[in-house]
A and B are shown apart, each in its own frame.
Chain A
Amino acid sequence: MKIKFPKDGRFGEFGGKYIPETLVPAIEELEQNYLKYKNDPDFKKELNYYLTEYAGRPTPLYYAKNLTQKIGGAKIYLKREDLLHGGAHKINNTLGQALLAKRMGKTRIIAETGAGQHGVATAMACAALGLKAEVYMGYKDTIRQKLNVFRMNLLGCKVHAVKAGSQTLKDAINEAIRDWITNVEDTYYLLGSAVGPHPYPVMVRDFQAVIGEEIKQQIKAFGKETPDTVIACVGGGSNAIGTFYPLVDSKTEIIGVEAAGQGLKSGMHSATLSAGTKGVLHGMMTYLLQDSEGQIQETHSISAGLDYPGVGPEHSYFKDQKRVKYVSATDKEVIDAFLMLTRTEGIIPALESSHAIAEAIKLAKKRPKTDAIVVTLSGRGDKDVEVVQENVKNSK
């Protein structure tokens, strides 16, 4: 079922490149360079150096004993991407792409960001490698994740607040693409999730696949050939596809968790795979949240990083192939999971990652104690404490 590098950019019917003609040469240049460098020993060595010495890989696979005991079912293991430099899995991808951009001779980097984690990871990678970065961020997100705006500014990165549309991640991507069209000669677009036109979904997946590769190795120390189940949250789908891809051809049960917001029936959610229909956005054919006229709908999630009406095309493919099960968690379940992990393990998870924790809590109860459930903890929750505090206050 694995598709290593689709020549036509398609995972089944999903993916492709639906882009303005001005971007075609840039996308072709990117594809050629990615193919040239991805197996280049020097490139791999340099990336590995930065992942290890700068970002802090490998990350631990931690047995969450207290949480497991509290729930009283299958054993829960946490893949600690929250311990990476910057506090999320995003740095795996930004280091890879920034090193590629440098080899391509690009001097100006642009990126979009939702929660601000990808923006911060871009700003860090660029500072470390001596590149200039500018980040587009929805205006609404600059308010609810203002800590990350400060961090980006401190890192020497210009943040553009986008006031168009829903003022969230999708609008930030639109604006980054417009910038790219305008400055196509010298600018590298460093996309933050496994979305967009080919080759981005494949390239971002490959840079994030280190998560799943490490899980495969590390689970052996706990007496398992492979995990019985892996769970990850799905926004655009990069931490999830990085977790899943190395395990796709194994027997492991694979579960992606989307944001159900205030409930799938409320219309206030961003559960694209659970409730969406096929369409074309941001250069790719994929599942989308849209109305009957093909207009993209506004989404909602308590976590800015999952607040997106599309999803990476490879996830759409795995859904239709029934290889991955996609479920969702509501804002309320997410807050509960956030608090439970914080109090039992002393680990403050990102709200995005708390979606995966919420599903693990539900599932572990139903599974035997001999089972191993691995949850990708995609990021840490420092950025979210304000939002959580407000929610806890309001629910009292």
Chain B
Amino acid sequence: MSRIQNRFTELEKSGQKALVTYVMVGYPSHKDTLSAVRGLIEGGADIIELGFPFSDPLADGPVIQHASTISLEKGTKMAQFLNLVKQIRKESQIPLVLMTYTNILYSKGYQKFFKMAKEAGLDGLITPDMTVEESKEYLKAAKNAQLDTIFLVSPNTSKARLLQIVKQTTGFLYLVAVFGTTGVQNKIQNYTISALKETKKIAKGKVPVGIGFGISTPNDIKSYVKHGADAAIVGSALIKLIEKTPSNKIQKTVASFTRQLKSATK
């Protein structure tokens, strides 16, 4: 069983849901990313998504776009991501997921890169511009390397398509809460709740369902958990917090915010 699956099984036993948190590699600096990750672990996050910057992040809103730009300006390379994963693995067994765009993975070679990433300690992949139609080589390589493939679905995804996507998904399924890019904050929409219920129905007994995009408070998490989410994913809100916190306080501040978020999943 993968670290991700394990974590969901353990949580289920203790009647909890998963808190999934996102940080951008190399933002605001490489040292700060590690501090933030330590804060996430200390605060009780269940899964960590490591965003790797891409020059053209077309599914991302302004907050993550900005973080990508800064990270790239600082010269972030894949080698640093692998080192970060290795470093985290020395300290923790928390499940780690890479979130980036297809071209980054393709340019490294799916087979070769996934194997290296797995050896470093990575557990799964989220690739927002990878559709099931185009995923044959990607899936094969991920399977070989034993990495979970976390696909995204949207409130407008048809039932037939949901079934098809669930089939290729391992770890958890990622429901995009809103029509929009990452970071869009809105009050919780009725269409999101219907989509969550529908997705849960289809994924039930196969994969847990996480929900993300625009989640920023413990209250958001509580509402989604109430309507059946197995995991809540928080990204832009954390990036914004890290952005305004001085380096030497990042770990502590992130830990304390994470604790508040985590309490909403219990």
- Partner-B contacts on A (CB < 8 A): 8-9, 16-22, 24-25, 164-165, 170-171, 174, 177-178, 181-185, 277-283, 285, 288, 290, 292-296
Contact = CB atoms under 8 A, between A and B. Distances in A.
Nearest to B72: A295
Interface of B: 54-59, 61, 65, 69, 72, 77-78, 101-108, 128-131, 133-134, 151-154, 156-158, 161, 165, 176, 179-181, 184
A170 B134 contact: no
A281 B104 CA distance: 10
18 contacts: A18-B134, A21-B154, A22-B154, A22-B176, A24-B154, A25-B157, A25-B158, A164-B65, A165-B55, A174-B56, A181-B59, A183-B179, A277-B107, A280-B102, A282-B58, A293-B104, A294-B107, A294-B108
Contacts of B57: 174
A16 B104 contact: no
Given A21-B154, A170-B56, A177-B58, A182 B181 contact: yes
Contacts of A181: 59, 179-181
B157 A16 contact: no
A166 to B, nearest CB: 9
Given A185-B179, A281-B56, A20 B128 contact: yes
A24 B152 CA distance: 11
A290 B131 contact: no
A290 B176 contact: no
A285 B135 CA distance: 12
A177 B61 CA distance: 11
A182 B180 contact: yes
A281 B129 CA distance: 9
B152 A281 contact: no
Contact of A21 (B54, B58, B104, B157): B157
Contact of A20 (B61, B78, B129): B129
A21 B158 contact: no
The 9 closest A-B pairs by CB, nearest first: A294-B107, A22-B154, A296-B55, A182-B180, A280-B102, A294-B104, A280-B103, A295-B55, A21-B154
Contacts of A285: 134
Nearest to B129: A18
A293 B107 contact: yes
Contacts of B152: 20-21
Given A290-B103, A293-B107, A296-B56, A21 B176 contact: yes
